[in-house]
Structure 1
Amino acid sequence: MSQREKRILKVGIIQQANTADHSDNKRRLKEAIRRVASEGAELVVLQELHNGLYFCQTEDVDTFDEAESIPGESTREFGELARELGIVLVLSLFERRAAGLYHNTAVVMERDGSIAGMYRKMHIPDDPAYYEKFYFTPGDLGFEPIETSVGRLGVLVCWDQWYPEAARLMALSGADLLIYPTAIGWESSDESGEQTRQSDAWQLVQRGHAVANGLPVVTVNRVGHEVDPSGQTRGITFWGRSFVAGPQGELLAELDQSETTRVIEIDLARSERVRRWWPFLRDRRIDAFSDLTKRYRR
């Protein structure tokens, strides 16, 4: 067997519980970013909508005031930090694109503080306590990896993680790894068995994307309990469990349900090896897949 050179990427993941105080949330995030950078992280990934609370538990037009432009305050602040620390940083922001037009947008900041690229969340849920369709217009940037100094990042967002098509299109476009900023948890009245099933399924489907595409997966979720301002539900307990999986679905790291950080080494060269053993891309029957673009076949 031929020898190969490893291509190690050190990834920092930050799992945080948020409050309504955006300034304090960002202060704590910056401290955590500095901490993982001091431990050698070259790429740092934050959770979905990391500046504030998960506001989609209710539908309130005044909440749109929290949205910001891109470029804007957050890209400036976090861009300056990325430049200072020499890291690539994945942000998740509530984007105000125009009056009445808002997106759930991931932004990748390059080592020099510039914007390397953006991804606007494509799949938008509308479930009890997750009323995202009220706030977010579906993305229009497609499933395109973002070129950075640490590799081609296949950035997707939360609800996208349930869709194998999204992961596949990122893989077919040359992504080196898949990244999912996330805000997901239990509605607090769910019984324990259902909670376990949901959390396990969430991790399993993403590990399946790693296997099917021969790519590492980095998923960063938030933690903590956030009340429902309307009082209609008992709020959401975000389950954390942020994790990194290798290209065969193997768990390289899994966090608990506390505020914490971790730096994980990923060998990006391993994907090439795994795809030689398991050539799923080679054996795809692309001549028979046209019906995948239909809503339903029957």
Structure 2
Amino acid sequence: MKQNQSQTKKLKVGLKVGLVQQAVSSNDKLENWQNSAQKVRELAANGCECILLQELHSTLYFCQEEDVDAFDLAEPIPGEATEYFGKLAAELSIVLVTSLFEKRGSGLYHNTAVVFDRSAEIAGKYRKMHIPDDPGFYEKFYFTPGDMGFEPIQTSVGKLGVLVCWDQWYPEAARLMAMAGADILFYPTAIGWDRNDTKEEQQRQQDAWQVIQRSHAVANSVPVIVANRVGFEPSPVTGDAGIAFWGHSFIAGPQGEILAQAGSDKEETLQVELDMTRTEDIKRIWPYFRDRRIDAYDDLTLRWRD
């Protein structure tokens, strides 16, 4: 099947997006917020209207161990963090995607993304649905799975499909966001290597991580924006290797093409001007949604086909 993209009319509508790749060295929230805010201001000064921060950017990645004292790091929404970042979004007149450790109630906590739309008011939030439980990533101890479904958040720059870290491995999550009209997929992330793994295994893991997310862009014909943390965070558990967060934050276009990519060893920001008409153009020549066999997919709701 020969496709001719030039057959579709192109009316360029530019949206400048940015992300922050940040290292965290302490649980000093204010210091970490100020570090994020400085980079957000730089991106906004360069014209970015929509900016993504990484997963759990307020503190160290505390999920390397199961420690009841770490629940003290959580806060209600609204709370001090949403007040800080809401004021920042309003000051800069930007759409800002943040990631917080939410205390919903006594003994009930979530890993929650909060979106602000050029205002101090919360435009919407998303609670992480897929919760890992692996060595060094003991998130099930801390986070209750989300209960808000896969609903995009309407903003002045479009519908944002916000997902969080482990969600990025699941095509179902990306598909449901796209089916609900998401214009862009966002993945605030905290992922890295076990330093005991071989260099070859580390590279395989990093490659798989990028490929799966680029595939979500391709399968749904939407841009994908991924902000990962960077830097080594030692484990509080004696004998554990700690996590070397691998950075490599990136922005991909609606055909999975890499538009910008950060490195693995330092704090960085990325910015790209997206042509938001391309999603419609691509969907017209690669009509995946038209050709889905929804009459044959019932078994996708099963855990396994026995």
Q: How does the TM-score come out when normalised to structure 2? A: 0.96
Deviates more, 1:24-33 or 1:96-105: 24-33
Within 5 Å, give how 1:63-74 maps onto structure 2. Answer: 63-74=70-81
Query: Does residue 57 of the first structure (1) align with residue 70 of the second (2)?
Result: no
**Structure 1 counterpart of 2:281:** 273
Give unmatched runs, 5+ long, in structure 2: 1-6
- The C-alpha deviation readout for 1:145-173, integer Å capped at 9, x for no partner, is 00001110000000000000000000000
Q: Does structure 1 conserve the Cα–Cα contact (< 8 Å) formed by 2:250 and 2:270?
A: no
Alpha-carbon separation, structure 2, partners of 1:18 and 1:198: 22
> 1:16 maps to what in 2?
22
Measure how far apart 1:231 and its partner are.
2.0
1:7 aligned residue (13, 25, 34): 13
Is 2:223 the counterpart of 1:216? yes
Contact residue 40 and residue 263 of structure 1 kept, 8 A: no
CA RMSD of aligned residues (A): 0.8
Say which of 233, 242, 248 aligns to 2:249. 242
TM-score, normalised to structure 1, is 0.99
Q: Which amino acid aligns with 1:294?
A: L
Q: Which amino acid aligns with 1:267?
A: D
Specify the code of the residue in structure 1 equivalent to 2:45: S
> Which residue of the partner structure matches residue 295 of structure 1?
303
Match of 2:188 in 1: 181
Task: Describe the SS at the equivalent of 1:96.
Answer: strand
Paired with 2:132 and 2:261, the residues of 1 have a C-alpha distance of 25
Runs of 4 or more above 2 Å deviation: 1-4
* Alignment pair present for 1:285 and 2:293: yes
What one-letter code is carried by the residue in structure 1 that aligns with 2:73? E
2:43 pairs with 1:41: no
State the alpha-carbon separation in 2 of the partners of residues 217 and 79 from structure 1. 23
Q: Following the alignment from structure 1 to structure 2, what is the Cα–Cα distance between the partners of residues 287 and 246?
A: 30
Q: Does the CA-based 8 Å contact 1:45-1:91 persist in structure 2?
A: yes
**Partners in 1 of 2:193 and 2:121 — Cα distance?**
36
Q: State the 1:4 CA deviation.
A: 2.3
Q: Residue 141 of structure 1 aligns to a residue in which SS?
A: coil
CA deviation string 1:201-221 (max 9, x = no partner): 000000000000001000000
Match of 1:84 among 91, 98, 111: 91
* Corresponding letter in the other structure for 1:187: D
Q: Deviations over 1:7-60 (max 9, x none)?
A: 211111100100212221111111111100001010010000000100000000
CA distance in 1, matches of 2:239, 2:76: 31
Secondary structure of 1:238's counterpart equals: strand
Instruction: State the Cα distance separating 1:2 from its structure 2 match.
Output: 4.7
For residues 142 and 167 of structure 1, the distance between their equivalents in structure 2, rounded to whole angstroms, comes to 12
Structure 1 gap ranges (5+) = none
In the alignment, residue 285 of structure 1 is paired with which amino acid? R
Map 1:96-135 → 2, pairs under 5 A: 96-135=103-142
> 2: distance between equivalents of 1:135 and 1:120?
13
**CA–CA separation in structure 1 for the residues paired with 2:284 and 2:35:** 43
Which residue in the other structure is 1:145 paired with?
152
